[in-house]
Structure 1
């Protein structure tokens, strides 16, 4: 193997190819440094990051306040397990529950763990509070969802690549089309053992599909009418990404009107968070609910050695403070509108881009080609050459989600790079 002084991008890629499982297909860019909205590869080339680690780095790479919290706590105490109390978890739990308006939080580490946790809480509530016979609870999910890749979660996925040869699958889920209130009501009428519905406010992995304006509110109202739990997976859309603190809400820590009005506010019964809750610095996730739901969990019934560790608590507290102090929701709202306006101007005379959609700084463009084509991948390769990193999803869709600390000048520079690159692919 080459010495570390001489090792280049291809060498690092070859190391991963030889010694790592082939469960990802990355762009051939090897990153070694990040700061704010920028990342650098091992050869020193600078890029705009327009993926933000799938919206985990909303606060920007290596935000000094979050890094300082990490370093300071790491020098004192990193892990106790939940066999003992620690001096960081309680204050963090008080802070995050107040921040999002819930009675209690169950801290975990990864997004998939948080989804599994929410499913367990929902089922236990159904048996102990709603009176559904044990093992009979059903949870409604939406087609084209993405909630993670554990065995339970892929059991209700439409992605055959994620499902094939991983069965047998977990039962207890009913799939319905996304953004279809009428069908959800039909399911509630036809099945007496519905415990909850698990929804992404915006389907990010499916291509940044945004539902109709009143969809979430109507789902919540039906849940209330039928005594069913509304579970919102805000792992990707939460923490200011979509222009408000949460994509489901019309009220947040903003000093300006949110994109989602009060008339569309739909407070979840169970809220799932991850990714940017730590600013991308450390794996942290959380499930929030009020006492009537969360109190079904008793000692020994769920947990994690690392869940709620003092390092995670310190990091997450700092990361959430940054969102409020730097008004990242407002910035995402303003820059997201600017991005879509500029892209719509380009699309008017484009043959390669069909449309742009999204909310806040979670956006996507749909490429005028089939899902099986390589066009979107080729565009992302060219974008990287031109100094901007993005990644296709579902073949012909490119997702754009930069860190929320981006300035207007930086965004306009990025729009220029994107439009210049797209122009090279016009027919």
Structure 2
């Protein structure tokens, strides 16, 4: 029987079948960060003697507010740091850290055929590797650290076929926003999305990670891409991957065995034409409220969203004045994102406060080796260290009430980037162009 990549990974990790379509599923890797981990870690130490199932299957990362902005966040970071050292858990700390969904892939901690969980909703990013990766709560994460398993209801499968060559200035961010706009921000609830087709096949791993990162914004449990040569090539040379070519060849054969079979069946399918896509910008308070950059807000737009965002039906976003610009987050802060922004910003000056935050310290150093930081700073951009930053409205550029921020992030619900803030989600290229113009602008017009 033909199986999809999700079905192969799921079936190979079932420990026990439980009533009601529930399963006890083994987790190969757990990623812990300072916001959702401390409470569970303390309880494990106090109530279970600190007995972790397998500390070598956990990595810890101080990332959301790093370095700490106040006493409360400093305590969170210290609890994670001390706990990791106590239990011999590998920790990526200040100076060698980054956003967890950037660090885990770039160091090789996620591989095809794996299961991975983290106390963060954008953990599905890692599904780009043909892994089943999902975000969970603090209690579930504590349970996973104790038993290395999760009790999960088996999701349904949803194939998204995207074919065609993306036009100039159209990126993975535009593709995933188009998908969410088509299916709505809750349209994939209870499903694992699998992205396939010639458009996906031609994408880099970084672009595939952008796609899978925002699967949760359609309500999906996770997003996945079937592993292929692009996946294998990306993993060669990574920190925790063998450097022995013979051993790597064995890994390659194992990884590719999880690739989707040709005649796999899905519970649901949709298609998208990549050739016809345009840059996208959100107008509302969820990522599904999105239009083409030259489009108009629809006549059936949600009234509450419009009121919060200070917009009207039929209004164009192109030319809308912005107060701030931000490039970063686990969605669009990798080296390829920064290179695209640099192409547009080179030799130009921004006209509004603009912040660029690399996804990890490794990305930061790579960007600086390439001279991208000079391009950014010569343009008047604030070039920062790695952190989640203003994406979640906690630090490093919180947006003021009723202020508009053109942003490469993943969420735009009320208060996301600051109380009363008005984020407009888009690609790094549109952010860069809009930062120069001071209004929402197509990169071709810069």
One fold, TM greater than 0.5?
no
Could you tell me the TM-score, scaled by structure 1's length? 0.27
